[in-house]
Amino acid sequence: MKAIIHIGAPKTGSSSIQLFLIENVEGLARQGVRYGVIDSVHHSQLEYPMAALANLNRQIPIKSARARYEVPTLDAQKEMAAKTLSNLDRDVKRWTEPVAVFSSEHMVPWLRDKEAIKALDDIFAQHFDQRHYILYIRNQLDLVQSSYSEFVKRGGTEEFEPFFKSRLQEFDYHTTVQNWSDAIGRDRLNVRLMDKSFLVNGDVIDDFCQFCGIDPKPLQRPSRANKSLSAAATECLLAMNKRIPEVLPKGGFNPLRKGLVPRLMQMSAGDPPLQLDPELRKELKSYVKDGNERIRRSFFPDRDTLFSEAPQRPPPPDATTKRRALDLMTQLFIKLRLGEMVVLDRNELKVAHVLTPDNVTPHPKKIPTQT
């Protein structure tokens, strides 16, 4: 039996691929492809990289992710890993399809060295005699804005420039490609470009399907998933994050954020997107130049450049963005007062948290009577 493992990278259409797989489980099975949906609220099958790390007695390297996915300790992570691997062992024995597909964009950022990557491959080697990995990479000049949008959506409070400076090395794909290639073998790693000039039909789902031997024509197409915030929505949510954390101090989702991001994105649809400052753009382009060229020479020698040139648009004026952010906050307040936002139940109100300048303060336990 063959396994095809989609490892990301983040912000390269992973959510669209995963929704496509989830919505077409039966149709895929009819084509001889098995996608085993994990009983989880997350589209990403993050339990597999989590298990690979647990097998090495390592925690997830990102502390905020431990809280978000409620595995604050190594023991908690090992418990989840044991359940995941037990379920995989049970399920594979029932599967009759010749191909199984797995997908998690958490594999790239969590499995940062060859030992961790090999630990993941060892998990799948117990069940599949053939294992092929597919990695999508994206022009970093587009990636950085999308990454910051995701950071803010997930409760981040860091301003854009320090975010950019502290994560610059993460935008160099060459290290990632080299680590995976060395760990599993170049012949088992298929690097794909999130670039319309490269993708089959200019579409990531069509491209993924061709690699997996799937005919997408009779299958359902998900709408575009996990869109980025506009510049103003980013400013608005960044301010809110400083008072309304996404994750509770002991882990788990903060109910005060329930429905907040989808509503904000709905209201700001069509607003100008985030744009990279010209000086930061120049710095990023210089930083990734050598690594991109090495990837091009190694994997895409027929292309003149690794990626097509990313369009450069001037960022919206700062004052305009701030005014629009304030307008969005006002609209949210109005919708809240009109009862158009999601209403929290009593249990959610009991655990809801807000931030003060000094620490995290629980929402008052006394629930006021509605008048």
Inter-residue contact 160 to 315 (CB < 8 Å)? no
CA dist., res. 308 & res. 135, Å (int): 18
Summarised one tens digit per residue, pLDDT across range 305-314 is 999 987 777 7
Residue 292 has pLDDT above 80, yes or no: yes
Sign for the CA dihedral angle at 181, 183, 187, 192 comes to negative
Average confidence score pLDDT of the chain: 91
Q: What is the mean pLDDT of residues 176-205?
A: 97
pLDDT of residue 352: 84
Q: Where are the alpha helices (DSSP H) in the chain?
A: 14-23, 25-30, 47-55, 63-68, 74-92, 107-110, 114-125, 140-153, 160-166, 173-184, 204-212, 231-241, 260-267, 278-299, 318-337, 346-351
Residue 317 has pLDDT above 90, yes or no: no
Q: What is the mean pLDDT of residues 32-58?
A: 91
Q: Which residues are 355's β-sheet partners?
A: 360
Residues written for the chain: 371
Topology of domain 2-146+170-212 in CATH is Rossmann fold (3.40.50)
Phi-psi region of 73 (alpha: psi -120 to 50; beta: other; left: phi over 0): beta
Residue 253 has pLDDT above 70, yes or no: yes
Closest CA to 173 of 150, 157, 154, 195: 195
If residue 100 lies in a helix (H) or strand (E), which one and from where to where? strand 99-103
Higher pLDDT, 41 or 58: 58
The secondary structure of 112-141 as a DSSP string is -SHHHHHHHHHHHHTT-SEEEEEEEE--HH
Which pTM value belongs to this model?
0.90
The region of weakest confidence among 284-298, 308-322, 324-338 is 308-322
Every domain of the chain and the residues it spans: 2-146+170-212, 231-272+317-362
If residue 6 lies in a helix (H) or strand (E), which one and from where to where? strand 2-6
pLDDT of residue 354: 80
pLDDT of residue 250: 79
pLDDT of residue 345: 86
pLDDT of residue 215: 98
pLDDT of residue 357: 55
The region of weakest confidence among 113-122, 163-172, 224-233 is 224-233
